Amino acid sequence: MTCQIADLMAQVTDSKYRTLFMPAIFSGARQGELLGLKWSDIDWQNSQIHRQRTCNKGRFFTTKTRASKRKIDLGPTVLTALKKWKPACPQNSLGLVFPNKAGEPINYSNMVQRQFPPALKAADLPRTRFHGLRHTYASLMINQGENIKYR
């Protein structure tokens, strides 16, 4: 599985999407949580992101339940990628980590149709939904002996 992850990441040439895919794979964050992620949500000291909101079709929403508003641990690889992306990130009044060129939330449809499938195809990996990256994360955690209820 880790070879497949490396193959996929090698095919993502746009640094924004490469950085976006990393926390999806290595933290289990949902697509909407990543699209709504703001720089102020990242706790660099504790290597965590704080899930505060979700973004769907350009609109922000609070998390579904109080339990959904929680912290997600990030590994050093993801933190390093985010630190490298920060100076390259387009300035935006919303403080988004992954804005479009106009400083607005990324159109999720473009991301999952124009970025993710071509990278899968180029890596010679089976077609899957972006949400499947959450399952990849769960599988990685199980393989490392983590408790399935950790997240």
pLDDT > 90? residue 90: yes
Cα–Cα distance, 32 to 9 (Å, whole number): 20
Q: Considering the domain boundaries, does residue 12 fall inside one?
A: yes
Q: Considering the domain boundaries, does residue 6 fall inside one?
A: yes
* Range from 2-6, 52-56, 72-76, 88-92 that averages highest in pLDDT: 88-92
Q: Considering the domain boundaries, does residue 21 fall inside one?
A: yes
Cα–Cα distance, 34 to 43 (Å, whole number): 15
| Number of domains comprising the chain | 1
pLDDT of residue 87: 97
Q: Which residues pair with 105 in a beta bridge?
A: 99
Cα–Cα distance, 38 to 94 (Å, whole number): 8
Element (H, E) at 73: strand 71-73
Look up the CATH number of the domain holding residue 130.
1.10.443.10
Phi, psi of 137 (to 5 degrees): -60, -45
pLDDT of residue 66: 66
pLDDT of residue 33: 92
Q: Considering the domain boundaries, does residue 150 fall inside one?
A: no
Domain range for 56 is 2-143
The beta-strand segments (E) located in 1-132 are 42-43, 48-50, 53-56, 59-62, 71-73
Tens of pLDDT, residue by residue over 13-67, are 899 999 999 999 888 888 999 999 999 999 999 999 998 899 998 999 987 766 6
Q: Considering the domain boundaries, does residue 39 fall inside one?
A: yes
Taking all residues of the chain, what is their mean pLDDT, rounded to a whole number? 87
Q: Considering the domain boundaries, does residue 151 fall inside one?
A: no
Comparison of pLDDT for 141 and 33, the residue scoring more: 33
Q: Which residues pair with 43 in a beta bridge?
A: 48
Q: Considering the domain boundaries, does residue 149 fall inside one?
A: no
β-pair type (53-56, 59-62):
antiparallel
pLDDT of residue 138: 62
Tens of pLDDT, residue by residue over 110-125, are 888 889 999 999 999 9
Q: Considering the domain boundaries, does residue 48 fall inside one?
A: yes
Mean pLDDT, range 98-118, rounded to an integer: 89
Taking alpha carbons only, the member of 33, 27, 44 closest to residue 105 is 33
**Measured between alpha carbons, how far is residue 90 from residues 96, 101, 117, 120 in Å?**
9, 7, 24, 26
